[in-house]
Amino acid sequence: MSQNQTRLAARSRVLALPVLMLGLSACTINLTVPANTAPAPAAAPAPVASKPAASPTIAAPAAQAAGTATVLTANGWTEQFSARDSSLFMSAAYAAIPGDSSKALYAATAGAPKVADGALTLGNARFTVGALGTSITGATTPGGVFNIAGKDCALTLNVRSVAGTGNFFVYVDNNTTTQDASPHGKASRVVNVAATSLVEGQNVLKWSLPKSAAVTGSFLQLRADSAATVVIDSAGMSCS
């Protein structure tokens, strides 16, 4: 190759380079970026205000006031033994003498009559119903709320359980264990039965008491001796 031909070839290469650069700048390159198909993150739940727990409801105690578990008339009486304990049962706050709200309708005369769980337990214990005082009976009595002397009466006991070989008694106008310590004499002990003769459920004990001129108002005494335990759910007396 001649010297002139070499120069022409070199010049051609120099001229071709700008042309190539111009061609590249005129090209449009399209790059397609695929859309992001991943699910958007879930929105955080809105905070929920905490609600204070409701205070537990406390059930009202069993009947504990005068008249709520006791029905008393001149000729009758019913009792559900619903006091919360023996102390309340023997108080005027539970059942009072009519006309004297300070004096209890019930009074223990010996032992410890027990009231709990809606029942009365008598075991080597006794108590009076409706006595106006605690003086020992004999020729006279402290008086009582009932007008039952000379009438036919029935005491209904709903018995839960019985144990022992002793006896169960009911007295009228007698707050002792001596049968004739009353204006009624020996007739004052109107019920004397073996505890084992009482059945679970309803028991009706009847008596008729002669009228006594020394008695203007009467009371009851219920007793289980030292060899018997009687649990009573409810009691009721009616006389005519």
- Give the DSSP letter string of 141-155: ---BSB--TTSEEEE
Number of structural domains in the chain: 1
Does 90 map to a domain? yes
* pLDDT (tens digit per residue) in 79-111: 999 999 999 999 999 999 999 999 999 999 999
Does 40 map to a domain? no
Does 201 map to a domain? yes
pLDDT at 5: 52
State the average pLDDT over residues 135-161: 95
Query: What is the extent of the structural domain holding 152?
Result: 70-239
CATH of the domain at 179: 2.60.120
Does 47 map to a domain? no
Number of residues written out for the chain: 240
Q: Furthest-apart CA pair in the chain: how many Å?
A: 174
Residue among 230, 193, 236 nearest 111 (CA)? 230
Q: Is the pLDDT of residue 201 over 60?
A: yes
Does 30 map to a domain? no
pLDDT at 57: 33
User: pTM of the entire structure?
Assistant: 0.72
**Residue 202 confidence class, pLDDT cut points 50, 70, 90:** very high
Does 62 map to a domain? no
What does the alpha-carbon distance between residue 38 and residue 44 come to, in Å, rounded to a whole number? 18
Does 26 map to a domain? no
Q: Can you read off the two tokens belonging to residue 194? A: 């073996």
Does 65 map to a domain? no
* Buried-exposed string 203-240: b where 16+ CB fall within 10 A, e elsewhere: bebebebeebeebebbbbbbbbbeebbbbbbbbbbbbe
Residues 6+ apart with CB under 8 A from 62: 69, 82, 83, 84, 118
